[in-house]
Amino acid sequence: MLTREQWTEKFVEVIAHASSQLPPDVLAALKRGRDVEAPGSLAAKALDSILTNIEMAKGNWQPICQDTGTPLVWIHHPVGMSTRILTAAFEEAVRQATAKQLLRPNAVDPLTDKNTGHGQAPGIPTVHCEEWDEAGLEVRLILKGGGCENVGAQYSLPNTKLKADRDLEGVRRCILDAVQQAQGKGCAPGIIGACFGGDRGSGFLESKRQLLRRLDDTNPVPELAAMENELFEQANQLGIGPMGFGGKTTVLGVKVGYLGRLPASYFVSISYMCWANRRAGARINPSGEVVWLS
Amino acid sequence: MAQLNLPCDEAKIRALKVGDFVELSGRMITGRDAAHHWLLHGFREEVAPFMKGSLIYHVGPVVKKHEDGHYTFVAAGPTTSAREEPFQADVIGKYGLRGVIGKGGMGPKTLKGLAEHGAVYFHAVGGTAQVLAQAVVKVEQVFQLKEFGVPEALWVIQVKDFPVVVTMDSHGSSLHAEVEKASKAKLEQLLGLSA
């Protein structure tokens, strides 16, 4: 197996990918959006600019967006590996990537209000490690910007104002309301990750984990697959459009998961991801070989 | 597409309307959360000349410091402007700004301030950090770097053909208010809620 320094090196590569190379399914969704907007409209011009930007970032291996966000990391590791070493290796990778301008120095100490200058602080990055039976390691990363994180929302059902009860229809109502509340502020067209059930903490975490899914996948739960399609259609009827300029492209995808809940609680947790859905995944084999995942 | 050179006079700003595409050239300053607090506590003589007649750009850039000490912007798209809503109109009035560049739009207090002072809100496309960094041709100097850190410092920059859209003008119009209202009506229809 690799040393801690070698893990850091691999993780810097994963960060470079996420920061500069937008996944193909997201690019395809943005192109579809551009094609449905009226030529010459503010919406079409915004999407043209976005598409140009994606190509520039890709070619130059530079950040797609200057807000390189919170690195959210999920690692599956073989039996017996030290999660402390993996976490420390990823933290060091964030510092190195920040020094190389792949990331912005993006961590502020809220007590002193000083930027730490190197991109790392308690809780940044967030690294979730889980053991599995495979010999290799899998790492999945999302760089989630602050603008879109700020428009996330959590609902406790029932909600009288939205006529949302404790059922799937209630969940649907909350998600649509969250998209309308967000307007263009989360850098629309966005991707919606949602979770119903769980507690206030686990619900939000699961809503973020949903953002690891490809836009063109299908939810294995038929009711949720239907809900995702319906929400995609309806959110795009709201007319918010790219950047909130008005238009037909308000969301690129909606992904819904769930967790067990207490009898007393029914939370709907919604994470909004900006169009710059910086998602990267890699399988790292025991030899150190890196296989990129889509 | 209309061109606007900075600094500029009030008449040029008053001529702009919601929906206009503009390419900006000239000198402006950057500033976001920490900067707006700082600008309102006292009068900051050192940055005032860079603000008068020009714009403040809401951005927290990724910046490269070169070996000879000069800086370049590596990535520089707009940040969410709504956080500056409590302060923006006052900052505009105090320093004689002709406007703001940001994303997501701002609220009624700023809209009123734009009309009062002859200023405008330019929207840059959020997330297009490469396209916009390329339009930043020179970083002239920086204020409050040590105190605020790279994203929050006030950078004095020269831009060329920096692409923006007017989404709030000096005549009381706001594209954001219109879209908010229309989308709320649509939401109520989709959810069967009567207003």
pLDDT digits (tens, 9 = 90+) for B76-135: 999 999 999 999 999 999 999 999 999 999 999 999 999 999 999 999 999 999 999 999
**Cβ within 8 Å, pair B123-A275:** no
Whether B165 and A245 lie within 8 Å, measured CB to CB: yes
The mean pLDDT value for A165-175 works out to 98
A101 vs B contacts (CB less than 8 Å): 62-64, 74-75
* Cα gap B13→B8, rounded to integer Å: 8
How confident is the prediction for chain A on average, in pLDDT? 97
**Residue-range domains of chain A with CATH:** 4-21+63-145+278-293 (3.30.1330), 147-273 (no CATH)
Tens of pLDDT, residue by residue over B152-186, are 999 999 999 999 999 999 999 999 999 999 999 99
* Cα A268 to chain centroid, rounded: 17
* Closest CB from B127, B131, B149 relative to A115: B149
Contact B60 A66 (CB under 8 A): yes
Q: What is the CATH topology of the domain spanning B2-190?
A: fumarase (3.20.130)
Whether B161 and chain A come into contact, CB under 8 Å, resolves to no
Judge whether B144 is closer than 8 Å to chain A, CB to CB: no
* Average model confidence (pLDDT) across chain B: 97
> In the predicted model, what is the mean pLDDT of residues A119-141?
97
Q: Write the burial class of residue B14 (CB in 10 Å: 0-12 exposed, 13-18 middle, 19+ buried).
A: middle
Chain A contacts in chain B segment 41-100 (CB below 8 A): 59-64, 74-77, 79-80, 82
Q: What is the mean pLDDT of residues B8-25?
A: 97
Beta bridge partners of A128: A74
Which chain A residue lies closest to B33 (C-alpha atoms)?
Answer: A113
Q: Is the peptide bond before A220 cis (omega within 30 degrees of 0)?
A: no
Cα B152 to Cα A117: distance, rounded to the nearest angstrom: 12
Partners of residue A60 in chain B, C-beta under 8 Å: 130
Question: What local confidence, expressed as pLDDT, does residue B195 receive?
Answer: 58
pLDDT tens figures, A215-230: 999 999 999 999 999 9
The share of chain A scoring above pLDDT 90, in percent, equals: 99
DSSP A164-205: B-SSHHHHHHHHHHHHHHHTTTTTSSEEEEEEESS-HHHHHH
Share of chain B above pLDDT 90, in %: 98
Q: Which chain A positions have a beta carbon within 8 Å of B183's beta carbon?
A: 180, 183, 238-240
A20: pLDDT strictly greater than 90: yes
Question: Under an 8 A CB cutoff, do B79 and A42 touch?
Answer: no
For residue A294, what pLDDT band results from cuts at 50, 70 and 90?
confident
The proportion of chain A whose per-residue pLDDT surpasses 70, expressed as a percent, equals 100
Residues of B in contact with A177 (CB under 8 A): 187, 191
Q: Is B133 on the interface with A (CB under 8 A)?
A: yes
The runs of H, that is alpha helices, within chain B are 10-14, 33-40, 48-51, 88-95, 108-117, 129-134, 145-148, 175-190
> How many CB atoms neighbour CB A256 within 10 A?
26
Instruction: Using the predicted structure, report yes or no on whether residue A51 has a pLDDT greater than 90.
Output: yes
Q: pLDDT tens digits for A96-115?
A: 999 999 999 999 999 999 99
User: Can you tell me the distance from the alpha carbon of A123 to that of A73, in angstroms, rounded to the nearest whole number?
Assistant: 11
